[in-house]
Chain A
Amino acid sequence: MAKISKKASVAARAPKITPKLVAAHGLKPDEYERIRKLIGRTPSFTELGIFSAMWNEHCSYKSSKIHLRTLPTKAPWVIQGPGENAGVIDIGDGLAAVFKMESHNHPSYIEPYQGAATGVGGILRDVFTMGARPIACLDFLRFGDPAHPKTRHLVAGVVAGIGGYGNSFGVPTVGGSVGFDARYEGNCLVNAMAVGLVQTDKIFYAAASGVGMPIVYLGSKTGRDGIHGATMASAEFGEDSEAKRPTVQVGDPFSEKLLLEACLEIMAKDCVIAIQDMGAAGLTCSAVEMGAKGDLGVTLDLDKVPCRETGMTAYEMMLSESQERMLMVLKPEKEEEAEAIFRKWGLDFAIVGETTPTKRFVVRHGGKTMADLPIKELGDEAPLYDRPHVETPKPPVAKAADVTPPMPNAEALAKLIGSPDLCSKRWVWEQYDHVILGNTVQRPGGDAAVVRINDGPKALALTTDVTPRYCEADPFEGGKQAVAEAWRNLTAVGARPLALTDNLNFGSPERPEIMGQLVGCIRGIAEACKALDFPVVSGNVSLYNETSGRAILPTPTIGGVGLIEDFTKSTTLAFKAADEAILLIGETKGWLGQSLYLRDICEREEGAPPTVDLAVERRNGDFVRGLIGDRVVTAVHDLSDGGLLVALAEMAMAAGIGAELDAAPFAAHAFWFGEDQGRYVVTARAAEAGRIEARAHAAGVPIRTLGVTGGDALTLAGERPILVAKLCEAFEGWLPAYMASGVP
């Protein structure tokens, strides 16, 4: 790849199209033949570049599309499903939430700070392109084994990059997830989610309309950065990933902030027919999408494109991924007004083309036609693959009776709570401004972030979640569980889950076992979405996350959004007072397969993951949401990684209040650490507990009393009490110590 851009930058002289050059563009021989047949001739060098940009995996979804079509995307409150810059849902009062999650995995591994920063920038642009002002960001991150020499460098760079961009842009980063596994060595995950607010009658779309309308270029100038970024992101890494650093773009959050304000201002002044941000594959992708979606042709005059460097070729301009740029179809009579707004904000504004009736995508440069292609076919005729896939063999269920506890449960708890996956991520989120805009009701560290909508009383609940080890063991159950857990997170703060965005991170789709993971996870996601009325409204697929043949854990990240009618009713996980009843909602069988207890305490990675009964999930969640709405519970926490005892410890640590716990009804280690699904812990004033139990019985929801809050220790029947302060030390200690030291 580096070879082409070097050649192209030496002179405008276009290289000859050879099989080698085609291969270097990431196009397979049969894909190239398809191009020749489509246009009836050999493509020019610029045209080859355009096809490689449009037909790579990242932009065309060619391996995943036929499976993505099976996902439920509709509900009465869905205004816009997948296919636009972001999904849009109605949240009442004439307002809509606009959101999407997108990966920046490959660039973040190569250049962590800029890779992560531009990931945040890209997803923010997707949201404000639709006319929405961003109100929150979340970041789902996965890194390799902490002991790997590169992990610390990646964590430091990615976190600084996310903070560096989001803090300067001025959006609170309110949630996310950080985890570690050796399988992410060589391919870290950076999935950035942004959420914005817009009036339902002021939403802007990408489809152009009207012939002869001016196409305007907005924002920063075009440089040679990021050329072939999308193609790079559509290939696995080898030993040479370092050499791909020049394909990573450089972010400028200051320009993005100006672009946001300028765009919202011209939108408010009704200057815009259609608008599209320049993300992956830059000018090419945005121009083609605007034309194709509007059934129009587009002619671009590259001599008008504001450039940062001299001597850029058509090829380079069409493939540059320089950041903070937009393309817009302008209402012609508003040209002067729109230009004045952009000049005020110190941004470039140039008319670079127009819409045409021909349905051709024509690119002119230096008086020559550099490309002339059928615009619809560029997108619609991209190859679609039903790649061979094999189902992951179902692992046997691990029986609790076959797991001998290697240490007392209190000791296991202390060890788990101070482990890389379960420890506090404060070191990370304190580097993100999470209070700016003055609407953060629940800060990071809870089940879901809660962000007030304008002056309230409504609020949005936001979360990102997935359990990759479950997906690896059983993609279908893992996919289901990811959706159910996001739904549960939102429910635990009192929200009604409305819709989700998904970010599907997998290895190479050209391997049938990996393709089997993707297909299985999508099936599971679809089933859970249906059962929970929780549709997918936007998303992103990131494939080829593998290095030298070793793939990441299958990681279909779910970003969930829910609505809270009155944020003052939302609950947090911290115990609120001593002498309150602790109640467990949902059934506990002691499922240890694929649990963190089995992995981190027994050092066994085995068994089937817990299954999710979606009807039970829904019943239990609706029950808990009802309790929250009636203000009868004082704290709520959903159960996930680490099981019941870890959840109780988190509730105790958040409050600095201990608890006295009753004896486990069966094998204590399985009861306390099993990861059975569809469960919550709630607390209530002692007088209220009986009434809650009666309500649960009436609703057919399993409930059991676990003990009472109070004291300064967690006390398990028959074991030595553990001081909450000791737990906090382990919980808060690991990550800062790891990041500060040379040794894990």
Chain B
Amino acid sequence: MNSAVLVFPGINRERDMARALKLITGRAPAMVWHADTALPQGTDLVVLPGGFSYGDYLRCGAIAARAPIMDAVRAFAARGGLVLGVCNGFQILCESGLLPGVLMRNAAIKFICRDVHLRVERSDTPFTRGYNAGQVIRVPVAHGEGNFVADEETVARLEQEGRVLFRYTAPDGSLDPKWNVNGATNAIAGVVNDKGNVLGLMPHPENHVEAALGPTDGRGLFAGLVDHLAKAA
């Protein structure tokens, strides 16, 4: 699997992402500078990593969404290419129109870094085929603006079309406002676009991939993508 990790000024989890991709796919990703206008030939997966692109000044992700490289990403997505945005990457995807909704300040108004539990809603997508539907995984969040909000109609459509792939839940997989870490609408942690090839996810699967450091529940996402691309090829 050939992946490309976008580097915007102020992004800071690109190394974590590159390391996880290398570990699981066996291949180091291409690091693509924001001012470039083309993705490397043969890119299978584009990743927008976490961080504070352009300092998150103005609005999280708003400036990055207008970076030169994003036209190439939009074209790649339109052709059905796989795009994953994590944390700030999710915010950039929303700002660039590739995903609906917006990430607002956390309900508690504070930055929060802790492990959370996510319920995987379905396993029949390229991003979740490494998990079982209903499986609960443990991964960390680290954000101040992760509270997913969209208008009622959009949320209803997302739910109806099964586009919510990950939800914040209690450790047993039950929905409970106490475990909805940032107050997101319907406890939404990750959603896909209507074609199902662009995923935005607030938590950081790339930080839970090594047994020596703790849980490895993040591996499934990357392993699933490798599997999907191998089958597609």
Contact = CB atoms under 8 A, between A and B. Distances in A.
Given A168-B10, A430-B112, A441 B55 contact: no
B87 to A, nearest CB: 10
A487 interface: no
Interface stretch (B13-21, B38-46, B90-98, B156-164): B13-21
B15 A258 contact: no
A432 B113 contact: yes
Given A254-B52, A431-B110, A436 B212 contact: no
B38 to A, nearest CB: 18
B126 to A, nearest CB: 24
Contacts of B204: 435
Given A170-B51, A254-B54, A258-B9, A437 B110 contact: no
A438 B9 contact: no
Nearest to A258: B9
Interface in B105-127: 110-114
A436 B142 CA distance: 8
A233 interface: no
Interface residues of A, number: 32
Contact of A168 (B55, B110, B213): B55
Nearest to B33: A344
Contacts of B140: 435
B113 A438 contact: no
Given A258-B10, A452-B213, A568-B212, A438 B114 contact: no
A162 to B, nearest CB: 10
Sorting the interface of chain B by its residue count into under 10, 10 to 19, 20 to 34 or 35 or more gives 20 to 34
Contacts of B217: none
A425 interface: no
Contacts of A436: 12-13, 16, 142, 207
B112 A170 contact: no
Nearest to A169: B12
Interface in B203-223: 204, 206-207, 209-210, 212-213
B110 A160 contact: yes
A164 B210 CA distance: 28
A433 B142 contact: yes
Interface in B14-32: 15-16, 19-20
Binding site secondary structure of chain B:
mixed
Contact of A438 (B19, B54, B110): B19
A430 B207 CA distance: 16
Given A168-B55, A431-B113, A437 B15 contact: yes
Contacts of B113: 167, 429-435
Nearest to B14: A170
A452 B55 CA distance: 27
B56 interface: yes
A254 B15 contact: no
B114 A430 contact: yes
Contacts of A452: 213
A16 B110 CA distance: 50
B215 to A, nearest CB: 11
Contacts of A167: 52, 111, 113, 142, 144
Nearest to A457: B212
Contacts of A431: 110-113
Contacts of B209: 438
Contacts of A435: 113, 140, 142, 204, 207
Contact of A163 (B111, B207, B212): B111
Contacts of A163: 111
Contact of B16 (A345, A346, A438): A438
Contacts of B212: 441, 456, 567-568
Interface string A190-221: 00000000000000000000000000000000
Contacts of B51: 170
A360 B218 CA distance: 59
Contacts of A284: none
B178 to A, nearest CB: 13
A437 B206 CA distance: 10
Nearest to B15: A437
A435 B16 CA distance: 10
A160 B110 CA distance: 8
A293 to B, nearest CB: 32
Given A163-B111, A431-B111, A431-B113, A254 B9 contact: yes
Contacts of B12: 168-170, 257, 436
Contacts of A432: 111, 113
Contacts of B52: 167-168, 170, 253-254, 257
A253 B10 CA distance: 9
Contact of B13 (A170, A252, A253, A441): A170
Interface in A307-323: none
Interface in A138-192: 160, 163-164, 167-170
Contacts of A252: 55
Contact of B57 (A254, A434, A568): A254
Interface string A327-345: 0000000000000000001
A431 B209 CA distance: 23
B20 to A, nearest CB: 8
A440 interface: yes
A662 to B, nearest CB: 34
Contacts of A164: 111
Nearest to B110: A431
Residue picked from B12, B56, B144, B206, most chain A C-beta under 10 Å: B12
A255 B15 CA distance: 19
B151 to A, nearest CB: 30
Contacts of A255: 55
B212 to A, nearest CB: 6
A527 to B, nearest CB: 38
- A-B complex: 9 closest residue pairs judged by Cβ atoms: A170-B12, A254-B55, A168-B52, A433-B142, A438-B16, A433-B113, A254-B10, A435-B140, A435-B207
Interface of A: 160, 163-164, 167-170, 252-255, 257-258, 345-346, 429-441, 452, 456, 567-568
Given A254-B54, A429-B113, 19 more contacts: A160-B111, A254-B9, A254-B57, A257-B12, A258-B10, A345-B9, A346-B9, A430-B114, A431-B111, A431-B113, A435-B142, A436-B12, A437-B15, A438-B20, A438-B209, A438-B210, A441-B212, A441-B213, A568-B212
16 contacts: A164-B111, A168-B55, A169-B12, A257-B10, A346-B9, A430-B114, A431-B111, A431-B113, A432-B111, A433-B111, A435-B142, A436-B13, A436-B207, A440-B213, A441-B212, A567-B212
